[in-house]
Amino acid sequence: MESFTKVTLFTDRDGLARFREEEILLTEGTPQARLSPVYPASGYVLRRSPVGFRSDWHCTPAPQWVFILQGEMEIHLRDGSSRLFRPGEHFFSTDTVPPGAAFDPARHGHWSRQRGADALVTLFLKV
């Protein structure tokens, strides 16, 4: 069975952001065009971040897909790890503030930055 790799940025039980990968089976469509089931979405936002952009530490306000349309986006986590996403790549961001907690910039979330010579253009698909 063919599948799609879903990269997820999430808040783990300890309150820290982490990455994980999971497979979404492509169970629909035809042999020439395998599809996943239809998933709900509520809207989208396009963003252009100039060369040199770097965010502060933050959590995702609500679960969303992030698709890189142009440029490169690097995501940094508290454990010192980072991951680079290039045009055509994606991740599913669910690293929200843990239930009952207040955002603590010394503990929660991630930061991101534009990398390379091109401005970063991203599509945020809200779910």
pLDDT (tens place) for every residue of the chain, 127 residues total: 799 999 999 999 999 999 999 999 999 999 999 999 999 999 999 999 999 999 999 999 999 999 999 999 999 999 999 999 999 999 999 999 999 999 998 999 999 999 999 999 999 999 9
For residues 91 and 9, give the distance between their C-alpha atoms in angstroms, rounded to a whole number.
Answer: 7
What are the structure tokens assigned to 65, written together?
A: 């897909």
Local structure of residue 54 (DSSP, 8 states) = B
CA 47 to chain centre: 14
Which pLDDT does position 1 carry in this prediction?
Answer: 79
What are the structure tokens assigned to 100, written together?
A: 């009952």
Domains in the chain: ranges and CATH: 3-126 (2.60.120.10)
Which pLDDT does position 79 carry in this prediction?
Answer: 94
Which pLDDT does position 64 carry in this prediction?
Answer: 97
**How many C-beta neighbours within 10 Å does residue 22 have?**
11
Which pLDDT does position 13 carry in this prediction?
Answer: 93
For residues 89 and 68, give the distance between their C-alpha atoms in angstroms, rounded to a whole number.
Answer: 6
For residues 65 and 50, give the distance between their C-alpha atoms in angstroms, rounded to a whole number.
Answer: 21
